[in-house]
Structures are given as C-alpha cells and as structure tokens.
C-alpha cells in the first residue's frame, strides 16, 4: 500500500481510497541481530553517502531478475 500510494496515487488510488491507516514498523534495524544488517547499521552514514554519490536509490528493486527470484522462492519454499 505504501508503494502504491507513493507511486500510483494519481492514476489509481486517489479516486478509490478515502482513508488509509497503517501501523509503523514492527522492528527497528538497530535492534536486529543479523550480522549483515548489523554492519549496515554501523556504517549507515557511509553507505548512505556513497549511495547518494553514485545515484543509487533502490536496492534490489523490481526487475526481471528480482521478480523471477521472488516468484521461484515463493512458489517452491513453503
């Protein structure tokens, strides 16, 4: 819903939706125990600055590769 409201508001949601109420995230990244995410939180400022410098605003966005991988994973893994 968040993506739809941010990208498709004028073309679809504006005429069909009166109110959208949502809860915030159920977790905070600094509280995550995953090592990969922990490194990301430690170096967040450096990563954000590098991403802005190189114009990277989306990681693993929707494309044929990620869509195919997601479909294969979701269909084959219970």
Handedness of CA 25, 33, 60, 49 (dihedral sign): positive
Predicted pLDDT at 27: 60
26 shares its domain with 47: no
* Any domain includes 12: yes
Give me the domain span that covers residue 19.
1-32
Number of domains in the chain: 2
Per-residue pLDDT tens over the stretch 1-58: 777 777 766 666 767 777 878 877 666 666 667 777 777 777 888 888 988 899 888 7
Token representation of residue 43: 């170096």
Query: Is the pTM higher than 0.85?
Result: no
67 vs 5, residue with greater confidence: 67
* Any domain includes 27: yes
Longest dimension (CA), the chain: 44
């Amino acid at each position: 819903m968040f993506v739809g409201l941010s990208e498709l508001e004028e073309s679809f949601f504006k005429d069909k939706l009166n109110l959208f109420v949502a809860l915030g995230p159920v977790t905070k990244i600094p509280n995550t125990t995953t090592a990969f995410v922990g490194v990301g939180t430690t170096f967040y400022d450096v990563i954000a600055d590098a991403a802005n410098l190189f114009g990277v605003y989306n990681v693993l966005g929707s494309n044929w590769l990620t869509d195919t991988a997601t479909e294969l994973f979701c269909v084959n893994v219970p």
